[in-house]
Structure 1
Amino acid sequence: MTDLSQAIAQLVDSLSTLSPIPHQLSVCFLWPEEVDPIEWLDAQPIYPKFYWQTRDGREEVMALGQVKTFTDPAAAENVLSTNQRIWGGRSFDGRTARNQRCLQSFFFLPQIEVARQDDTWTLTVNLGDDLLKTQAALSKVTMAHPTLSPPECHILSTEHSPSFPDWSAMIDRALTHIEQTDLQKVVLARKTSLSLDRPVSAAQLLKASRDQNRANFHFMLALDEKHCFVGSTPERLFNRHGEDLSTEALAGTIGRGKSAEDDLALAKWLLNDSKNVYENRLVVDDISSRLASHCQTLTIEKTPHLVRLRKVQHLKRAIDAALNKGVSSATLLDTLQPTAAIAGLPREDAVAFIVENEPFARGWYSGSVGYLSAECSEFCVAIRSALMMGDSLQLFAGAGIVPGSVAESEWKELDRKMSTLLSLLTPIPDSTLEKRAG
């Protein structure tokens, strides 16, 4: 079986004899077992770059370079050829008066896509008018893959936005708003900014998270060397294959126990807690009402089931639909994002409250990331995520506020959710420090 270097050489040879020029070329190859795909991607000097691994672990993709970029997914869907996929996502509040600097959406048709489906690896190049540009990109691909060390560092400072007193005041305002207006639920978030004693790369954090946080989507979007958005999220926005759609309501949270007995007791409490069950039902009702005009049939799981992750447990209900003919992935993005699980209900009222009360712009946090194509599309909700810039790191988490919410317990929920990534930053061992000092 061809290895990656041979597959690249094969495609380079093909490019010199193409007539007419196709939209895409692909070749299967054998991935070397000793090479970690995240380490390989980190070594590539080509931007933008995107990493994607599905929640079930069956698909893994590294996308590099850009043939075209899109700020409108609907426009992209109109020009994509068969089997072409664009990668990227939509932010929560980009290109608004509150957050002019962040893009509303960014998608790119990659020059190079390296993908695994189960155990089968494929190298694909998307071709534009300039074949020399494609050849140049392929020539930059390196098989070097320096081993990434764990994300070891010391946290010099931690700053919460909002602080706990401001969080408490914000929760009080939200509960008053819920009592006095049509607002039923609002999801309020916290940004935690860490200053580190040394740079930690997004790839280091992503690799550690992929290895420890199973049953999650893993993603990384790097527009350049300095700014990278990375995350490991349990929540799917939607998966579409033709006219078959799968989505879900993931809302309602409790921590993990210190023992199997504790875990079971917490799980039973969550499954029977009226506040959390109500919060989950609000999300189900919102999704089903939003999809109603776009689908022929809608099937909703009758009662929530439990999803156990490394640090938390969630309530989840699966939702499946048969779409009407002609419903695009861009339409589904508009319809489902932002979900009630990360904004609230009614959506417009909740977003207005968030914009007026949260002390920071969310940007990519609680947006969506993934891919779309004419044949199929999949997006996850960008929670359990971090914005990384060298020796500074911003973590984000949110909590659904409904009648009965208490500021202190919701703050602890934010801590539990942030620990998904925060717990991966391990202190530098004393022996390492002594060697460096020596």
Structure 2
Amino acid sequence: MPNRPSPIETILDRLDTFLATLPAGSDGLASITLVTPELRLQRLPPLDGSWFYWGEPSRQRYLLGIGEALRLSTCGSERLDRLSDQFEQQRTRWLHLDPDASGFHATAFTGFAFDPDDPMQQSWSGLPNAAIFFPELLLHQTPERCAVTFSFNHRSRRRVRLRSRHLLQELTAALLHEPPLNPGPNRISRTAAMPSYEEWILQVREATQQIRQGSLDKVVPFRRISVRADHPLNPSRLMASLDDLYPSSLLFAIRLDGSTFAAATPERLITRQHHRISCDAIGGTIHRSPERQEDRRLGRQLMNDPKSRHEHDLVVQGILASLAAHCGDLTAPAKPTLKRLRKLQHLWTGISGELQGDATLLKIADALHPTAAVSGFPSANAGRWLSDHQNAARGWYTGAAGWLDRQGDGELAVLLRCALLSGENAELFAGAGVTSESCPIAEFQETELKFGTMLEALEHA
């Protein structure tokens, strides 16, 4: 009885078949998507080299990219406009074959820093200021189906089979790899904090004074803490922990040039589906209680807190103003609702509209970012305050990341509740919205609550 071909050989043989159908002499990117139920993803597998990960645990939707077929990068004041133009040039020549009618689109990952001029030094040195990454191999997964997309430049198609074999072998080995023995809870200890508690109190007091003088309405300073674990932090275990603990969050992780960055954020910057745009407005935070009645009381307290409602209204106002030039039929409820997470609850308003003209996802993101939720209001005045107080160089924290596809659709999440990993060490980031009624101690406590998301997950990494 003849030996049955391995799943990898079957996939490669099918890839060869469709490679032969590509038109000769073409330029630009080509992608081929094949349904592959045998490669189903259970969690982020342990991988070497460059990889990209996007997860929506509540919908059981995941993207995992390996390698780079192409990278586009920019920085500076018009970075997202230029990045969008570069992407559109590629998109018009991007050939995609979907012979199995999987319904998945050829997709790239993207991410950018908070500050367009951030030089991305020190801990951030492995990540670009703003970039789009086209993975060589992309695993798509929904509850209904799973597929792999191979992407390559037409001119390198002769090497596609060899490279695809290598990537498939790496992926299948990682998916079949038994998870490493869990050495037990990872004890996390703090090693540094910037600014110090005393510096934070002075900074917030100064901000509230300036707000009361009328120069701005809100500003969002941030804190950074460094932590150390008992043993090396494992990105695979970290993302599995975040998936379990925070299923309503959006998960993003990237490994690039030696840097590993991970986030579990509650906030979408923008989603584009055909001509429909939607955004999250989040502002105002309070903790949760395991006791149901007390948890509801805390939610009512947040809903009725004048300071939190004012802070939230500024976020909504800023997003609506930014979208007005690009969208019609903008809608936003008159009152926010509660977005409940594991240990926090936020005021949340969903905003949607119909896209007008030919604005792209990244150009609308350029108009939106930074929102009042992460910078302040008005945006220009808040930006100057942050720059003057050394709060602008944040790397990708409070920037955005996500995916965009060959159709021009995509999704970007604001990078909150995030960490930079390096061996046993990690850096964590958290901010708080300061308005005229802010209490410096209460804002400090809010950042501590926000640090708790990643600190809890790191204990299992």
Same fold (TM over 0.5): yes
Kindly indicate whether the alpha-carbon contact (under 8 Å) linking 2:333 and 2:349 is maintained by their aligned counterparts in 1.
yes
Structure 2 counterpart of 1:238, one-letter code: I
Residue 194 of structure 1 corresponds to 227
Cα offset, 1:154, TM superposition? 2.7
Kindly indicate whether the alpha-carbon contact (under 8 Å) linking 1:149 and 1:204 is maintained by their aligned counterparts in 2.
no
| CA distance 1:135–1:156, shift in 2 (3 Å) | same
Kindly indicate whether the alpha-carbon contact (under 8 Å) linking 1:157 and 1:196 is maintained by their aligned counterparts in 2.
no
Residue 29 of structure 1 corresponds to 36
127-136 or 250-259, which deviates more: 127-136
Residue 38 of structure 1 corresponds to 44
Unpaired segments of 5 or more residues in structure 1? 429-438
Q: Report matched runs for 1:45-84 at 5 Å.
A: 45=48, 47-54=49-56, 56-71=58-73, 72-80=83-91, 81=94, 83-84=105-106
Structure 2 counterpart of 1:25, one-letter code: I
Regions of 4+ moved over 4 Å:
97-102, 148-151
Cα offset, 1:301, TM superposition? 1.5
1:75 aligned counterpart, secondary structure: helix
1:20 aligned counterpart, secondary structure: coil
1:153 aligned counterpart, secondary structure: coil
Kindly indicate whether the alpha-carbon contact (under 8 Å) linking 2:268 and 2:413 is maintained by their aligned counterparts in 1.
yes
1:293 aligned counterpart, secondary structure: coil
Matched, 1:17 2:20: yes
Q: Report matched runs for 1:119-198 at 5 Å.
A: 119-128=144-153, 129-140=155-166, 141=168, 142=170, 143-144=172-173, 145-148=177-180, 152-198=185-231
| CA distance 1:32–1:223, shift in 2 (3 Å) | closer
Q: Report matched runs for 1:395-434 at 5 Å.
A: 395-426=428-459
Kindly indicate whether the alpha-carbon contact (under 8 Å) linking 1:158 and 1:192 is maintained by their aligned counterparts in 2.
yes
1:269 aligned counterpart, secondary structure: helix
Unpaired segments of 5 or more residues in structure 2? 74-82, 97-104
| CA distance 1:333–1:133, shift in 2 (3 Å) | farther
CA distance in 2, matches of 1:58, 1:171: 40
Kindly indicate whether the alpha-carbon contact (under 8 Å) linking 1:24 and 1:127 is maintained by their aligned counterparts in 2.
yes
After superposition, give the CA deviation of every residue in 1:318-338 in whole Å (9 maximum; x if it has no partner): 101001021111211101111
CA distance in 2, matches of 1:336, 1:32: 37
CA distance in 2, matches of 1:427, 1:25: 37
CA distance in 1, matches of 2:413, 2:22: 39
**TM-score normalized by structure 1?**
0.90
Residue 85 of structure 1 corresponds to 107
Structure 1 counterpart of 2:404, one-letter code: L
1:60 aligned counterpart, secondary structure: strand
Matched, 1:258 2:269: no
Cα offset, 1:94, TM superposition? 5.1
1:37 aligned counterpart, secondary structure: coil
CA distance in 2, matches of 1:267, 1:332: 32
Residue 364 of structure 2 corresponds to 332
Structure 2 counterpart of 1:406, one-letter code: C
Kindly indicate whether the alpha-carbon contact (under 8 Å) linking 1:12 and 1:138 is maintained by their aligned counterparts in 2.
no
Cα offset, 1:135, TM superposition? 2.5
Matched, 1:8 2:41: no
Kindly indicate whether the alpha-carbon contact (under 8 Å) linking 1:74 and 1:330 is maintained by their aligned counterparts in 2.
no
Match of 2:398 among 360, 366, 384: 366
Residue 322 of structure 2 corresponds to 290
Cα offset, 1:99, TM superposition? 5.7
**TM-score normalized by structure 2?**
0.85
Kindly indicate whether the alpha-carbon contact (under 8 Å) linking 2:54 and 2:402 is maintained by their aligned counterparts in 1.
yes
| CA distance 1:157–1:399, shift in 2 (3 Å) | closer
Residue 432 of structure 1 corresponds to none
CA distance in 2, matches of 1:32, 1:359: 43
1:424 aligned counterpart, secondary structure: helix
Residue 141 of structure 2 corresponds to 116
2:240 aligned counterpart, secondary structure: helix
| CA distance 1:113–1:4, shift in 2 (3 Å) | farther
95-104 or 311-320, which deviates more: 95-104
After superposition, give the CA deviation of every residue in 1:349-385 in whole Å (9 maximum; x if it has no partner): 1122112214683101110010123331101100000
Kindly indicate whether the alpha-carbon contact (under 8 Å) linking 2:400 and 2:413 is maintained by their aligned counterparts in 1.
yes
Kindly indicate whether the alpha-carbon contact (under 8 Å) linking 2:62 and 2:141 is maintained by their aligned counterparts in 1.
yes
1:298 aligned counterpart, secondary structure: strand
CA distance in 2, matches of 1:246, 1:427: 34
CA distance in 2, matches of 1:31, 1:299: 43
Kindly indicate whether the alpha-carbon contact (under 8 Å) linking 1:217 and 1:233 is maintained by their aligned counterparts in 2.
yes
After superposition, give the CA deviation of every residue in 1:61-99 in whole Å (9 maximum; x if it has no partner): 001111111112331123113643220211112543686
Cα offset, 1:180, TM superposition? 2.1
Residue 344 of structure 1 corresponds to 376
CA distance in 1, matches of 2:261, 2:233: 13
Structure 2 counterpart of 1:382, one-letter code: L
After superposition, give the CA deviation of every residue in 1:154-207 in whole Å (9 maximum; x if it has no partner): 334431111110100110111122122431101111111012232112222111
Aligned pair count reads 421
Structure 1 counterpart of 2:287, one-letter code: G
